[in-house]
A and B are shown apart, each in its own frame.
Chain A
């Protein structure tokens, strides 16, 4: 498979880095592919733009960063404006509809997922990144939901396992629902 390039964009504190790490780990440890995860953030703990990139390939990966994306996950308006045009043709964009207004041209399939709201309704908006991960699996099939859940379970403290895993399941379901409504001929 040619390399698959993913970018998560949001602000500091949303967990975009963790999302990238879990995705890359799922692809490499659970599914035996080569994966590299990188991130870019500023020096401040909260606020400020943050992005996380994942490259997945069956071959050895040289350049570890992402130029244009096969998949773009947006959790802030700033990220949408910054990365919205760095996409490949026929790529996918998953975005938090409550935080992002997508005014983009280009050929892509959008998946609006109200990740922050879904997570908040489940008990903690901090799990919005997990909702997005579930959505990623459903929208792209780059890793299976099972693989993601396994890594999520191993990556969060005991008291948070249930919430985070369910958040991922909800994100997965949300995208499948969108696909169903669109006639199921996406992907």
Chain B
């Protein structure tokens, strides 16, 4: 491992024996992991009380690289498994790392219920708008008209707005950023760590190999610049028409509700009331 890598502040949090990671050159996942590590480091969180529950997909492989307790789940089940973990050890800070395919396709039902229940989790979705790991199939987040291996003629379905979905399902902290916004992303993760309730952070993280190549983005920088150019803040978006917002990525904090009890608090209350009765 080079000296540059060893000197990097994130290095002490990594499972060194498994570096270099397997993510493709140009993948956004490394940028999100860096933001997570910065957030943990800046808050001074005890890594021994931090758990990672990750789904199937490239983003779910993060547990190989961050040196902490890691549960690699079956496809789509990061949230219900994280729920079980958090409920039975509430002092843990539980991160659920799930890609857009894992979360919004097979994991969709679990997504809306975890949000509704306000389980105290930090859910970070790396959204590359495609099923990357299995070869670039269309996902519930692929924009209309875009190409994927199972939408060879262009996607005819409308994609989810994952943040609106989380909000409607009852999530109490919802933000969207992109890998081109590392500073606000780190801030958002810090907020999520300290938030008592279901935090959902969607991160637009392009996949140059699958999404990029199928949609005529010649190389990663073209794709990343496109993501940056398409990003518009919530504030600015409020003054824009529906037409102007077409294809735009709205970034910022959508929801931050305090004082709504998380599921663990509710369960504790229930246990206490039963105790009293017996």
The reply to whether A and B meet directly (CB within 8 Å) is: yes
Spell out A's residues near B (CB within 8 Å). 43-48
Q: Which residues of B contact A46 (CB under 8 A)?
A: 24-25, 209
Q: Which residues from A are CB-within-8-Å of B210?
A: 45
The 13 listed contacts between A and B (C-beta, < 8 Å) are: A43-B133, A44-B22, A45-B24, A45-B132, A45-B133, A45-B135, A45-B209, A45-B210, A46-B24, A46-B25, A46-B209, A47-B22, A48-B22
Closest 8 CB pairs of A and B: A46-B24, A44-B22, A45-B209, A45-B24, A46-B209, A47-B22, A46-B25, A43-B133
**CA–CA, A107 and B162, complex, Å:** 61
Cα–Cα distance between A44 and B61 once the two chains are bound (Å): 11
Nearest to A43 among chain B residues (CB) is B133
Could you tell me the dominant secondary structure of chain B's interface residues?
A: loop
- CB-based nearest B residue for A47: B22
Listed in ascending order, the chain B residues whose CB lies under 8 Å from chain A are: 22, 24-25, 132-133, 135, 209-210
Q: Which residues of B contact A45 (CB under 8 A)?
A: 24, 132-133, 135, 209-210
Other A-B pairs, 10, CB within 8 Å; known A44-B22, A45-B132, A47-B22: A43-B133, A45-B24, A45-B133, A45-B135, A45-B209, A45-B210, A46-B24, A46-B25, A46-B209, A48-B22
Q: How far is the CA of A132 from the CA of B132 in the complex (A)?
A: 29
What's the minimum C-beta distance from B127 to chain A, rounded to whole angstroms? 18
Residues of B contacting A44 with CB < 8 Å? 22
Contacts of B24 on A, CB cut-off 8 Å?
45-46
Write the nearest CB–CB distance from A57 to chain B, whole angstroms: 31
Tell me how far the C-beta of A115 lies from the nearest C-beta in chain B, rounded to whole angstroms.
Answer: 21
CB distance from B29 to the nearest CB of A (A): 12
Q: Which of A43, A44, A45, A46 is the most central at the interface, judged by chain B CB atoms within 10 Å of its CB?
A: A45
CA distance A46 to B209 in the complex (A): 9
CB-CB < 8 A to A47: which residues of B?
22
For the complex, give the distance between the alpha carbons of A47 and B209 in Å. 13
- Please give, as numbers and ranges, the residues of chain B lying within 8 Å of A43 by CB-CB distance: 133
Nearest CB of A to B180, in Å: 22
Q: Kindly state the separation between the CA atoms of A79 and B123 in the bound complex, as whole angstroms.
A: 41
Give complex CA distance A47, B58 in Å.
Answer: 14
A14 CB to closest chain B CB, in angstroms? 14
Please, which residue of chain B has its CB at the minimum distance from the CB of A42?
B22
The answer for the CA separation of A44 and B135 in the assembled complex, in Å, is 10
Residue of A nearest to B24 (CB): A46
Nearest CB in chain B: distance from A159 CB, A: 12
Give Cα A48 to B20, complex, Å.
12
Chain A residue nearest to B210 in the complex (CB): A45
Tell me, rounded to whole Å, the shortest Cβ–Cβ distance linking B137 to chain A.
13
Contacts of B209 in A (CB 8 A): 45-46
Residues of A within 8 A of B25 (CB): 46
Q: Which residue of B lies closest to A48 (CB)?
A: B22
Min Cβ gap B118→A in Å is 35
- Residue of B24, B25, B133, B210 contacting most chain A CB atoms (<10 Å): B24
Q: Give Cα A108 to B132, complex, Å.
A: 41
> How many whole Å from A50's CB to the nearest CB in chain B?
14
Q: From residue A4, how far is it (CB to closest CB) to chain B in Å?
A: 31
